[in-house]
A and B are shown apart, each in its own frame.
Chain A
Amino acid sequence: MPLDESYLGRVSQPSPPYQVGREKIREFATAIGERSPMCHDVVAARAAGHPDLVAPPTFTVVFTMPRIEALLREPAFGWRFEGTVHGGQTIEFHRAICAGDELITTVEVKNLTIRAGTHMLTLRCESSDQFGKPVCATEALLLSQADGDTV
Chain B
Amino acid sequence: MEFFGLSLFQFLAAASAVSAVVVALYFLDRRRRRVVVSSFRFWSDARMERHPLPQRRIQQPWSLLLQVLALLCLLGALADVRWSANALRSLDHVLVLDASSAMRATDGRSTLLERAKNLAIRYVRTLPAGDRVMVVASDGTPQPASGFEEDLEDVEGAIGAASAGSTALNLGEALGFARQMLARSDAPGDIIYVGGLWIAGPETPPIAKELGNLRVIPVEAELSNVYLEKAVLKPSETDPGLWMAYVSIGNRGAVRDVPLQIAFGGAPVAATRVRVPANASVTLPVEFRSGASGWVDVRLDVADGIRADNVARVELPRSGGVRIQICTQSRAPFEALAKAYPSWRAEYSAASPCPVAEGADLVVLDRVEPAGPLSIPALWIEPPASPAWQTRNVALKEAAVSWNSASPISAGLRAKDIALQNVGVFSPALADEVIGSVSAGPIALARRGTVPQVAWGFHPLLSGMRFEVTTPLLFANTFRWLVAASARPDEISIGTAGSVLLTDLDSAEGGDLAVVDARGTAMPVAKGKDGWRFFAGTTGLYRVKQGHRESIVSLTLPEAPELKWDPPQEKILTGIPAGSGLEAPPRWWPWLASTGLLLLLLDAIWFDRRGNEDGIQAKNWNPLARLLRRLGWKEAGASHGI
Q: Do A and B come together as binding partners?
A: no
B→A interface (CB under 8 Å):
none
